[in-house]
């Protein structure tokens, strides 16, 4: 029930706090655990101090490569570091803020289209590149 996931994250965050995890729910090809991290110190620990200890792994890459490509979002280790170095200057607060606004707008469009088409297949490329 992915449509309930945002509410479920809020419920679990109230129950367990700002950092919690569990088994990957109902996603074929992804076995293992996920972490839900909001605490700034924990985010720094995962993304900066101990990044090599938190990898996505081959199952994640195999499942999401068609959607996310071979870049920073699916890579680990030295390949991730190379992508990170190249893209680090592209990320600023203003850019991330405007990107979040565009992303939210596109998600609303996708949700509306999905419901209009009776939950059948829709062409995401058409939406993303309008």
User: What per-residue confidence (pLDDT) applies to 3?
Assistant: 76
pLDDT of amino acid 31: 66
Beta bridge partners of residue 84, listed in sequence order: none
- 57-92 pLDDT, tens digit per residue, is 888 888 888 888 888 888 988 888 888 888 877 777
3-state secondary structure of 117: coil
Main-chain dihedrals φ then ψ at residue 103, nearest 5 degrees:
-60, -45
User: CA 24 to CA 38: how far, in whole Å?
Assistant: 18
Q: Which residue has the tokens 């479920």?
A: 8
β-bridge partners, 36: 20
Q: What is the mean pLDDT of each run of 10 residues along the chain (130 residues)?
A: 78 88 68 79 87 83 86 88 82 78 86 79 74
DSSP H helices in the chain: 5-16, 40-44, 57-68, 77-87, 93-116, 124-128
Say what the pLDDT of residue 20 is.
86
**pLDDT at site 1:** 58
User: CA-CA distance, 53 to 45, in Å (whole number)?
Assistant: 10
Confidence (pLDDT) at 119 = 67
């Amino acid at each position: 029930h992915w449509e309930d996931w945002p509410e479920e994250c809020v419920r679990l965050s109230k129950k367990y706090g700002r950092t919690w995890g569990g088994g990957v729910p109902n996603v074929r090809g992804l076995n293992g655990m996920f972490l839900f991290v909001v605490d700034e110190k924990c985010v720094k620990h995962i993304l900066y101090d101990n990044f090599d200890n938190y990898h996505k792994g081959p199952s994640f890459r195999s499942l999401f490569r068609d959607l996310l490509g071979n870049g920073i979002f699916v890579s680990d280790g030295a390949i991730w570091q190379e992508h990170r170095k190249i893209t680090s200057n592209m990320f600023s607060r203003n850019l991330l803020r405007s990107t979040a606004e565009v992303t939210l707008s596109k998600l609303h469009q996708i949700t509306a289209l999905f419901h209009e088409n009776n939950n059948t297949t829709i062409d995401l490329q058409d939406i993303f590149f309008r």
